[in-house]
Structure 1
Amino acid sequence: MSNSNRKLGLMPGSVVYTGENPNYNITITVIYYSKDFHKRETFSSTDKIDIDLKFKGNIWINIDGINDVNLIKDIGKMFDIDTLSMEDIANPEQRVKIDDRDTYILIILKMLQMEILTKDVQYEQLSLVIKKNILITFQETPYDPFEIIRTRLEIAGARLRSQDVSYLAYILIDIIVDNYLLILDEVENEIDEIESQLIESADKDDLENIIALKQNIAILKKFISPVRELISKLQTRSMLNYFHEDMKYYLGDLNDHGIIVFDTVDMLNNRATELIQLYHSMISNTMNEIMKILAIISTIFMPLSFIVGLYGMNFDNMPELKWHYGYYMTLGLMAILVGLMIFYFKKKKWF
């Protein structure tokens, strides 16, 4: 049964995991931090999760794994997250979005990575819930590029520790967007390589590589394009309850990155389409070259065939047939014709 079919017939707000890792072990990491304090705790899904909600500083709760629906529901009840939001969090195929739910905002993004050997694009959903002094992040797997942020939070006097959770959320989103740019650079390099290969010698393997490249770009465009609108919404006045006025400069910079990413993925999509046109053009040119060579060979043999046909008619009144040097003269004439035609074709640069 298709994963999406698991939700057919269910009421809105039904929390159902529709991903590919139903038996994944979940890890919950809780980081308490303020300007002068840092504490990190880790729980498994079987542990009793004890979170100090009375902590006066900031709290970052990260859940690695969303396959345990009961745990997701418990987290939702603990922080008063409605079932519609929990339904979106448990659905890894949820579109990129931002929702203002009055007491918190929900942001859903896709983290992307490219396999080094296969060049395939892999994606993982990241959901962020921002509520007062608490940031909750839900991930499908333990992979994320955020370990450097956790390390920075451990450093006494780090600027990140003196900021609220909205700044931390901005940092996480900025890392994801910057990672998009790294992946797009890899895709652009791949396009350049395929383009050079096509110009040198196009073959069937190149078309397969282009199709695989188009599929990867389609994935990138699907998840990257909506990010521009998401970042724009972060700059609206309705978000001031979560991102204070001092954040507008950071969000403006993030918006610039979003525009660059959007324009880049659109440009790469156009270039990939042009690669297909270039492939067909190069194949057509190759066929034209083959046909030209065959036409030249046929043209060279046309007068030779005429001479052979002429003297193959076996009429009695053909004096040349009885001439002692007739055979050698005919061969010489044929050789001279071939030489003259090759010289002419070379002079015209036909080959």
Structure 2
Amino acid sequence: MKALILSGGKGTRLRPLTYTGAKQLVPVANKPILWYGIEALVNAGVYDIGIIISPETGGEIQKKTGDGSRFGANITYILQENPDGLAHAVKIARPFLGDSSFVMYLGDNLIADDLSQYLDEFTTKNLDALILLRKVSNPSAFGVATINDYGEVLELVEKPKYPQSNLALVGIYFFSPEIHNSIETLKPSARGELEITDAIQSLLLSKKLVSARKLQNWWLDTGKKDDLLEANRIILDTNLSAENLGSIEEKSQIIGRVKIGKNTRIINSTIRGPVIIGENCYLENCFIGPYSSIADNVKLTETDLEHSVILESAEVLGIQQRIVDSVIGQRTKIHLALKRPKAVSFMIGDDSQIELI
């Protein structure tokens, strides 16, 4: 069994943050989204992993993620020159995949379920495809499945104008080598892409064994700011353990589950968990509220922050109004020169400089 993680694309829904970086490397609870997928696959016993990358961000992903040894995996990088669809990604990965069955995992997805149970079912029943589904309120934005009472898939449609069900395809699929034969017969959709839903529909028409299972727990596609913040909230809520490797000084107060990295100084500040703060940070005269993630080398002074994600080496100085529901990019600098009574909310890309006067 192999795995194929799709980590290309242009991340348009997370701009401006992704103008300068890969959306799959945006951190959730101070860990790149992509790494959660790798860890989920390794925990399920899949160690041979191919990662689809784009020319724009592939180098950054390779540098950050490495050869897979940190995860106990072996990673092969596969360049997709143009984002021509999920099925196209499988097509260009054929030399890596060979005749092996594989898991396809969209690199900006997060799920709570253990993949092992689905992998076991796929293998035990000798299926040609197993898809994971989740009820959604806006099915026309997704690939949609119609199934019967036995979990058998009747039809798949990509982003239908008039959905026949509210069951969206989660970005995790299990395939036998039969999927390659289906992909070879595909023609580009109206979007100009080779759609994986069309490939699975082709399996159905060929009477291959295609089954579906509904997720038991949460699923998030982190392609938008609000979804990213929600993923950060859930991970902090469910996975964070309190730990202090830094220095808590001068009337500071730590409340609840808070994780603080090495060489971080907390001065005259209150931190109310769940919160994670990286290494080599400096916080003075701050209130850090629940569901905030602060990456390495961040400097915050006179700042009131809640339900936000601050990326590496950012500086927020003198913002005495509350910052909420924000994502602030790497090396960003925000300075407030005049007090104002209102809360502020940001979505700021890397290397920005903002002065509120």
Question: What range describes the TM-score normalised by the shorter chain of this pair?
Answer: under 0.3
Question: Is the helix fraction higher in 1 or 2?
Answer: 1
Q: Specify the structure having the higher radius of gyration (Cα).
A: 1
Question: Is the strand fraction higher in 1 or 2?
Answer: 2
TM-score with structure 2 length normalisation? 0.26
TM-score with structure 1 length normalisation? 0.26
